[in-house]
Amino acid sequence: MKRRLMWIGVSIIALVGMLFLAFRLSPYPAVWLVRYAFEKEAVRVDAALEEQVPENIRSIRNIQYDPTDPNSLLDLYYSEDARALTSKLPVIVWTHGGGLVSGSKNHLSNYCKLLASRGFVAISIDYTIAPEAKYPTPIRQLNTALAFISAKADQFSVDSTKFILAGDSGGSMITAATANLITSPSYAAITNVSPGLHPEQLKAVLLYCGIYEVDNLNSEGAFASFLHTVTWAYFGEKDISNDAYAKTASVLHFLTDSFPPAFISAGNKDPLLPQSKRFAEKLSALDVKLDTLFFPESYKPALGHEYQFTFDKDGKRAFEQSIQFINQLIGRNTSEQPEP
């Protein structure tokens, strides 16, 4: 009995040791945990929005935007009522979040239907998540998708002169980088990514709770451990402090006054709130047209990461404010939209 207990003890110690080494030698063990938690929550949030979706929203699912890439799928949503008003609609292209290591276009299904109900073609894209793909692969994929959508504008009833890019969390990071390289040739050159649109096609960006400075992240607490996993998975290095190319992902340092008009928001208890505020401050200093939705620190109920997808009064406020911002930019009045 004593020998058996000793064997069990040794086995437990060995297992703990192997787990410790696994977490030290590869980002995958931590990524798998993140994926499990994030996927479960994303499915719940999307399902909760279903009751908010109006009728007459149509979808075309799993369109391949790059025939050489099995991960290059997009979903397209539009309102039949909006299509009855005009043959060409402005397009919102949303890049999903998930910490760059999880997530799917499918998790945006009902939110995109809500966007479509306001007179847009709403498109959500898939990209290859990390560690399976490293920086800047998702940015290249988004630009490939944009070029594809622009080329298929007539087929998709898209007004190719009115693109709006949007993203949340990791998707916001990808979106901001893409908007910057579309409007800044120097940033496109240093990232070595070809723009998918001409600058005049891009009318605005909607950015929720993103990362814009990978070299200035919170280095304390449990969230810091998550961010370490994300950066290790996305860049393929535990420490990017001496990696000049990885630092080009800190899009905040490369902004110009050509950046498109931006709507930026994050919850008052989002650990990434400082990133959004610094990004907004930099755009304001550059005189870029800007609208923000931030909340007092003491705001109740406390609004965490991705608060906008919880369609309570605060989520609805963000939604309506972003739609109003876009409509003002593209010069569209309410008579050109279906009834909400």
Instruction: Give one DSSP letter per residue of 234-295, joined into a string.
Output: HHS-S--TT-TTGGGG-GGGG--TTSPPEEEE--TT-TTHHHHHHHHHHHHHTT--EEEE--
Closest CA to 107 of 173, 45, 166, 174: 45
Quote the pTM value: 0.91
Region for 119 from its dihedrals, namely left if φ exceeds 0, alpha if ψ lies in -120 to 50, beta otherwise: left
Lowest mean per-residue pLDDT among 19-33, 35-49, 68-82, 139-153: 19-33
pLDDT confidence bin for 28, thresholds 50/70/90: confident
DSSP letters for 227-247 = HHHHHHHHHS-S--TT-TTGG
pLDDT tens-digit readout, 90-114: 999 999 999 999 999 999 999 999 9
pLDDT confidence bin for 215, thresholds 50/70/90: confident
Residues 6+ apart with CB under 8 A from 166: 92, 93, 94, 95, 175, 205, 206, 207, 208
Q: Which residues pair with 93 in a beta bridge?
A: 123, 165
Q: What's the pLDDT score for residue 170?
A: 97
* Residues across the chain: 340
Q: What's the pLDDT score for residue 86?
A: 80
pLDDT confidence bin for 2, thresholds 50/70/90: low
Percentage of the chain beyond pLDDT 70 is 90
Closest CA to 92 of 41, 158, 34: 158
Report the C-alpha gap between 331 and 90 in whole angstroms.
11
Output the average pLDDT for the chain: 91
Q: Are 96 and 124 in contact (CB under 8 A)?
A: yes
